[in-house]
Amino acid sequence: MNKEQYLSKLKKMLPTDESNEIINDFEEHFATGMAEGKTEQEIIESLGDPVDIAKEYGYDESKDGKMSVGSRIVGLIGLLFFDILIGVSIILTLFSIWLALWTVVLGLVVSGIAAILGMFFIALPWYILLFGGISVLALAVLMGIGMIYLTIYSFKGLVWFANLHIKMVTGE
């Protein structure tokens, strides 16, 4: 842990009305220690654990990041209404768009292959069908690559949304 991490951790746990004064005092401790030739690590060891220091100023470790049961119930009811009224429709709409875009990629692949094979059966000049088919397949590959990224980020978004629900249930 360095000076910035130490002070940041300490500031998160301090009461907001006093935190600036306390952090300024600890920055002075660091400045004085550095002037004496001490390293940041030595200064941190001499100051002690930020949790212990924050406890001296009224920090309650048992309430850290936890919501009360009443807050969780109200939050869950709000989250349930959001999910029913808005969340489900948004997710279904995005899934439909995602499925339609993958269908377009598949359609482009089939069209490109059909154009290339069509040069043997259609009375157009072979080079038009060949280069047209290759162009359509190239477009399908590019769009497929984009869809792979879209799929990855869509699932990351769903995982984030699920983690939000889990945090609400656990009270974090």
Alpha-carbon distance 50 to 74, whole Å? Answer: 33
Digit-coded pLDDT (tens) for 16-65: 667 778 888 888 888 888 888 888 888 888 888 888 887 777 766 555 55
Query: For the purposes of burial, counting CB atoms within 10 Å of the CB of 98, is it exposed (0-12), middle (13-18) or buried (19 or more)?
Result: middle
Alpha-carbon distance 146 to 37, whole Å? Answer: 55
Percentage of the chain exceeding pLDDT 70? 91
How much of the chain is in helix, strand and coil states, percent to nearest 5?
80, 0, 20
Examine the pLDDT at 12 and tell me if it is beyond 60.
Answer: yes
Examine the pLDDT at 157 and tell me if it is beyond 60.
Answer: yes
How confident is the model at residue 63, as a pLDDT? Answer: 54
How confident is the model at residue 65, as a pLDDT? Answer: 52
Alpha-carbon distance 58 to 149, whole Å? Answer: 47
Examine the pLDDT at 160 and tell me if it is beyond 70.
Answer: yes
Higher pLDDT residue, 87 or 110?
110
Alpha-carbon distance 9 to 13, whole Å? Answer: 7
Average pLDDT, the chain: 86
Identify the band that residue 7 occupies on the pLDDT scale cut at 50, 70 and 90: confident
How confident is the model at residue 123, as a pLDDT? Answer: 84
Which residue carries 């002075």 as its tokens?
Answer: 28
Examine the pLDDT at 70 and tell me if it is beyond 90.
Answer: no
